[in-house]
Structure 1
Amino acid sequence: MNMDTKMSNQNSDDHTCFYHLKRIIIICLLGFCVGYTFASLILMPKMTKTSRPGIQQSSESVNHKGVCKSPECVTLAHQLHNWRDVSIDPCQDFYEAACGKYNEHTISTGTRLSEKSKIVKNLVKEFLDKNEPSESKSEQVMKWFYGRCEEYNALNETENLENMRMERLKLIKKIGSWPMLDGKWKEEDFDMNDMLSQITRIGGISLGFFNLILVKEVVLIHAPSGITKSVEEVEKVLMELLNLSGSYPDFNITSENQVSVEQLQEQVPILDFPRIIKNLFNQKNKDVIWNKLQGKILGLAQPIFFNETRNLQKILETTPKRTLANYLIANLIMQMSMGNQILDCGMIVMQNLPLASLRVFTRNHFNKFNLDMASQLVEDIKESLKQTIQESTWLQEETKKNALLKLKHMKKTIGYPKELEVPGALDVFFESVDMSNKDTYAAAILEIERFQTEQTFNNLAALLPMVPNVELLDSNAFYYTDENHLKLNVAILDDPFFDITYPTYAKIASIGEVIGHEIGHGFDTDGRKRDEKGEERDWWTPQDSKEYDRRTQCLIDQYNNYDDPDYGRNLNGSVTIDEMAADQIGVELSWKIYNRVDFSLEPSIFGFEDEKPDKLFFHLTALNWCGPRPRLPLSLQQEQVHPTHSFRVNGVFRNMKSFAKAFNCPVGSPMNPEKKCQIF
């Protein structure tokens, strides 16, 4: 989710930029911050005590069991104290009350979420910079690739272009002969399927005559979206491909226009699809992978394949072999172009080797006990939603039954699959990486890209238990609508959001909304249209569906009328409704779990011994959205699927009676409007 990203086909926002701090600097700064924080908190005035009878236990001051003084707790206390602006009435603008001094006490350019992502990637970069040997194959590959990249940056433009030219020539020799450069080229020696197989062996998936794409865990064989025009003879003959295929992005992919690879093979028998595609796989397991994926490799019923009068089969039969060979190699070379800019080598390693990078972080900087605690918290929040649905006064029994079924079958991945904890488990997948005779970045990146393609198919065949995606390193959580699957990244299960030393209530308030938000995406305006399997199905009664739309319209109207401090009343709630609905659900669920805690058995946060638990919940939850003033112009903000940070605090809390009670907000005040919006 960018602490709130709903995933459909694995798209997400990227809020990452990178900086590097040496460990000694980090330690020195931490020592300074801890000392400063202790001093400031000791001098901090105690919070004013007020008493309101008849309110649940958390609204009263409690006698805690000691004080948490771990470095992580002290940092949390520092944020709670220094980021809030005590001059602001929380009933007028709680975001400013909780976060108003953020810019005065941090040099961060983003929220805690984006800053944590930077720190994780900085720690991986620190590992890459260390000149230390490793027995792990995955770590060896990371350092080898990083070294080739750094060498690339040290060379001048001419040297790098020459390396690329030489690598292209090596590839041409590997996949076959290029008639344009080879005066001895013979037509009888040309085997089109052999050349295509050699191209896929080096990881090529854009094959000129057809491309391979991954959509919802299905490999689709589709027509090329364009034709290279670098050679006149190629352009003249193969422009027919473009005319027949049209523009791929305009082709609507549905189950009705998908055909099996066997059906496609019947239409284009000149191409050996199994042989070509198998070469993309790990060669030791290619037959196993093919058997697992055969039902997931589909063709599209496009004119280029199925036109009766002029189709790919006839074009390939009538086009001279010289032209076909020229086209295939020219198409490959066009895809190998590299710029001459200075590279961020640490980021390139993480983008291309995310699982290995994640392993480095978890092995050196992550407490695995957090995984079990987070997993239990997920179950607690799911149970809270179950109770909320059961107690709903407007949902009919049929809708409740379907909602509970979806919740029951919601899958979860906490951090990473346990299979990867086994020593050497990840290294097994790196055995196919060939680092020999690849002493330039041009050679290294081609091998790594081939390996990435191989890993994608390993995951698709359920041999690799995790998608190799750089988003794994982000401080983030995701809900995959078409899988009904909740995923929490490792980085968001670490401080400052989650730490083993935190009191239980601090863990819940800091990350409970994150978890509840992602679970809530299963029931937002899009998620509610999918069942327990993630398949599109309307399981709502007409009456409940109408009432749901009325309730979400309430949130839309609130956002449209929200007087944002940076954008005024110019925001578009229709664009942000899914995120707002998930926010509202998430905080409500987190609040319910929070109030089950026996605070007398928990330590207090240093400096907040007398802070009432109900107030502390809202301050802790708001910390995730404290950040600098937004930089986006209004026109771009109106297109964002996420509400502004200010609304993610004020907009949610103003709909909660518990907030108004905690801060004694009078009815009609900005944070306690008479009309409130609720989902369930």
Structure 2
Amino acid sequence: MSNLQGFFKQMESDDDINNVHDVGKDIWDLKFVMMEDNENKPKNKNYGVCAFWCLMMLLLVIAGLVFAIVYLTLIGPNMKAEEVQTGPVSTVCNNSACVSLSHSLLQTMDSSVKPCDDFYDYACGNWIKNTIVPDGRDQATTMYSDMDRQQDLRVLFEAPDKLDEPEAIKKARTFYDSCMDKETREANGIDVINGGVEGVFGGWPILESNPGGNFNADNFDMTTLMTGLFVHAGSTSIARATAKYYEDTEEFKLEISAGKFSTMPNIEYLVGNNYQKEQDALLDYVTNAALILGANPSIARQEMGAVVNLETKLAQAYLDNQPTPDNVMTVREMQAMYPDIDWTVFLTTLIPESVATITDDFKVVNVDGDYLTEAFRILSEEPARLLADWMLWLCYHDAMPYLNDEIRNNYYEFLAIVEGTPVREYYQDCVDLVHKLLPSATARLYADAYLPTESQSLIDGIAENIRTTLTDLIGKSSSFMVVSAKEAAKAAVKEAIISVGVPDYVRENGALNKSIWM
């Protein structure tokens, strides 16, 4: 199978899977979510308040500590099996990983700063002073980096299959190998994607009668193209839906929000007066891409310029309208408000029946309702040819890193100007693609290598010990904490949600195999 044919296979999108359980992030992130009751916050500004916030910050620091322990003892390159403790948890950790971690944490702190004056500077001051952001990156982090993750996954993807591995992992490796097949990519990549666009989506108008073109405006239907792009390419240009479970009402609701409507990584570059260089780079990029894919040179710049103008209008509409997170309505009301889309068909396509059954009375949260109202007004004034040019261009744009070197270099030249992003090694793009399309299989592969079940249980125990210890410390702090601050702190510690590792279904072969689309 070519590395590009996956773009035109029917799939349960990564959005569908991640909306229920964000597997991809759970595998290398420690989530510490603090829920506070605003009514319980102390009103007087004194050292009790300071102590409360210090304890809250301490909770976050300890969350980082747990993550670091996971990394140093389970994932770090120098891990030794005999250092993983399986017996009762000692009150003092003095193995090499803990000593190294303690030293590194002390190196990041600035003890000359009083924690109640600036806790962040106290905890991180020396790290900020001594850290240089690497070239080509816009940030630095103390955590396990994307490059580290990509390199680890590369090793796992390139390893031989094991007899007892689930089929999902074997298919993930096959997909990775296909993505890394440079010879096929150079020879057939553009033909494959153009053939898919013409055969499945009705053709990209700008290609006219060339392969991938042959668009017929009379056959254009926005709902059909929206759903088709999502099913076959995971593209959501106009709107996207996220399934979330609301514990207060014990029901699923769909959050409807703006789709990925722009090529520009930062949409403020589209509308700002001080970003002419970025705007020129965008027009050059989209025009050159269209030419490489087979567009007529006499119309390419003008027609892709119209696409950029449409993206600019949508960007301005998005920036002008605030989110409405409490805007609950039914699918029937959505249909009446935005009649250009068959919302029942669209949402049924986005959300698997195993998650929710879409009916007219199904409740949705229209997070970007004001934007969508303006966006549909803008789209209603544009011809079908431009709408198809725009929607299909966003699909092509997502595929740029996986095509031939000419079009890939054009893509990274654009990113270098607007983001300072250097050309990535090809394996990095392939690792990210497999993780995006097969997050559950990637998570299982990673967990088997770096987070066995017994280690995950051990970490869960450490986290709960931290919760108990914090609660005891708060209870003994009567000399400097007011009662309301103490109770609020205890409540925050009790309600903190700790999520480490992967959900159970990822470790179950049958359920895992059913979660993939290939």
The normalised TM-score by structure 1 is 0.41
Distance 1:258 1:235, change over 3 A: farther
Say whether 1:376 aligns with 2:461: yes
Give how far 1:141 is off. 1.9
1:348 is matched with which residue?
432
Higher relative contact order (CA 8 A, sep 6+): 2
The answer to whether structure 1 residue 329 and structure 2 residue 365 are counterparts is no
User: In 2 relative to 1, CA 367–262 (structure 1 residues): closer, same or farther, beyond 3 Å?
Assistant: same
Question: What is the identity, as a one-letter code, of the residue corresponding to 2:240?
Answer: L
Aligned mates of 1:272, 1:197 — CA distance in 2? 10
Return closer, same or farther for 1:176/1:73 CA change in 2, 3 Å cut-off.
Answer: same
Alignment CA distance shift 1:281-1:406 (3 Å): same
Aligned-residue sequence identity (percent) comes to 14
CA distance in structure 2 between the aligned counterparts of 1:402 and 1:81, rounded to whole angstroms: 29
Q: Structure 1: how far apart are the matches of 2:344 and 2:474?
A: 49
Q: In structure 2, give the amino acid aligned to 1:420.
A: V
**Against the structure 1 CA distance between its residues 297 and 205, is the aligned structure 2 distance closer, same or farther, given a 3 Å change threshold?**
farther
**Residue 201 of structure 2 is aligned to residue 175 of structure 1:** yes
1:254 CA drift (Å): 4.0
What per-residue deviation string (whole Å, max 9, x for no partner) do you get for residues 526-558 of structure 1? xxxxxxxxxxxxxxxxxxxxxxxxxxxxxxxxx
Structure 2 match to 1:522: none
Is 1:360 aligned to 2:431, yes or no? no
Q: Are residue 141 (structure 1) and residue 171 (structure 2) matched?
A: yes
The residue that corresponds to 1:195 in the other structure is 225
The residue number in structure 1 matching 2:115 is none
Q: Does 1:305 align with 2:373?
A: yes
Quote how far apart the aligned CAs of 1:166 are.
Answer: 2.9
**1:276 CA displacement:** 2.2
Q: Is the 8 A contact 1:278 1:286 kept in 2?
A: no
Q: Give the counterpart letter for 2:338 in structure 1.
A: V
Q: What's 2:86 paired with?
A: none
Quote the residue 1:274 is aligned against. 344
Distance 1:417 1:4 in 2: 13
Q: How big is the shift at 1:3?
A: 9.4
Distance 2:345 2:162 in 1: 39
SS of equivalent to 2:513: helix
CA contact (8 A) 2:323 2:370 kept: no
Residue 130 of structure 1 is matched in structure 2 by 159
TM-aligned CA distance change 1:130 to 1:324, over 3 Å: closer
C-alpha change, 1:262 and 1:404, in structure 2 (3 Å) is: farther
Moved more, 220-229 or 272-281: 220-229
Please report how far the alpha carbon of residue 139 of structure 1 lies from its aligned counterpart in structure 2 after TM superposition: 1.0
Q: Which amino acid aligns with 1:132?
A: D
In 2: Cα distance, 1:404 partner to 1:289 partner: 40
Is the Cα–Cα contact under 8 Å of residues 30 and 500 in structure 2 kept in the other structure? Answer: no
The reply on whether 1:219 has 2:255 as its aligned counterpart is yes
Q: Tell me whether 1:248 sits opposite 2:318 in the alignment.
A: yes
Secondary structure of the corresponding residue to residue 469 of structure 2: helix
Note if contact 2:256-2:368 (Cα within 8 Å) is conserved in structure 1: yes
2:186 to 136, 144, 160: 160
Return the offset for 1:343: 0.7
Amino acid at match of 2:427: D
Please list the CA deviations of residues 96-115 of structure 1 after superposition, one character each: whole Å capped at 9, or x if unmatched.
xxxxxxxxxxxxxxx9x868
The offset of 1:201, in angstroms, is 1.3
TM-score for both structures, normalised by structure 2: 0.51
- Quick one: structure 1 residues 76 and 117, their matched pair in 2 at CA, closer, same or farther if it must change by over 3 Å? farther
Does the 8 Å CA contact 1:138/1:356 hold for their aligned counterparts?
A: yes
Residue 47 of structure 2 is matched in structure 1 by none
CA distance 1:370–1:30, shift in 2 (3 Å): closer
User: Does the C-alpha gap of structure 1 residues 427 and 5 become closer, same or farther in structure 2, counting only changes over 3 Å?
Assistant: closer
Quick one: which of 481, 490, 494 aligns to 1:408? 494
Partner of 1:421 in structure 2?
507
State whether residues 175 and 198 of structure 1, in contact with CA within 8 Å, keep that contact through their aligned partners in structure 2.
yes
CA gap of 1:379–1:248, structure 2 versus 1, over 3 A, is same
| Whole-angstrom CA distance in 1 between matches of 2:146 and 2:399 | 30
1:44 corresponds in structure 2 to none
Match of 2:476 among 368, 391, 416: 391
The structure number with the bigger radius of gyration is 1
1:103-122 to 2 correspondence within 5 Å? none
- In structure 2, the CA distance between the partners of 1:232 and 1:119, relative to structure 1 (3 Å rule), is closer
Give me the whole-angstrom Cα distance separating, in 2, the residues matched to 1:77 and 1:312: 56
Q: Is the 8 A contact 1:205 1:212 kept in 2?
A: no
Against the structure 1 CA distance between its residues 413 and 235, is the aligned structure 2 distance closer, same or farther, given a 3 Å change threshold? same
One-letter amino acid of the counterpart of residue 222, structure 2: M
Question: In the superposition, relative to structure 1, how do residues 402 and 290 fare at CA in structure 2: closer, same or farther (>3 Å)?
Answer: farther
Shift of 1:147: 0.8
Structure 1 runs not aligned, ≥5 long = 17-25, 35-67, 84-94, 96-110, 434-680
Alignment length, in residue pairs? 348
- Closer/same/farther in 2, CA of residues 151 and 233 from structure 1, 3 Å limit: closer
Conserved in 2, the CA contact under 8 Å of 1:264 and 1:299? no
Note if contact 1:356-1:426 (Cα within 8 Å) is conserved in structure 2: yes
Distance 1:272 1:145, change over 3 A: same
Deviation, 1:174, is: 0.4
- Alpha carbons 2:332, 2:360 under 8 Å: kept: no
Give the helix-richer structure, 1 or 2: 2
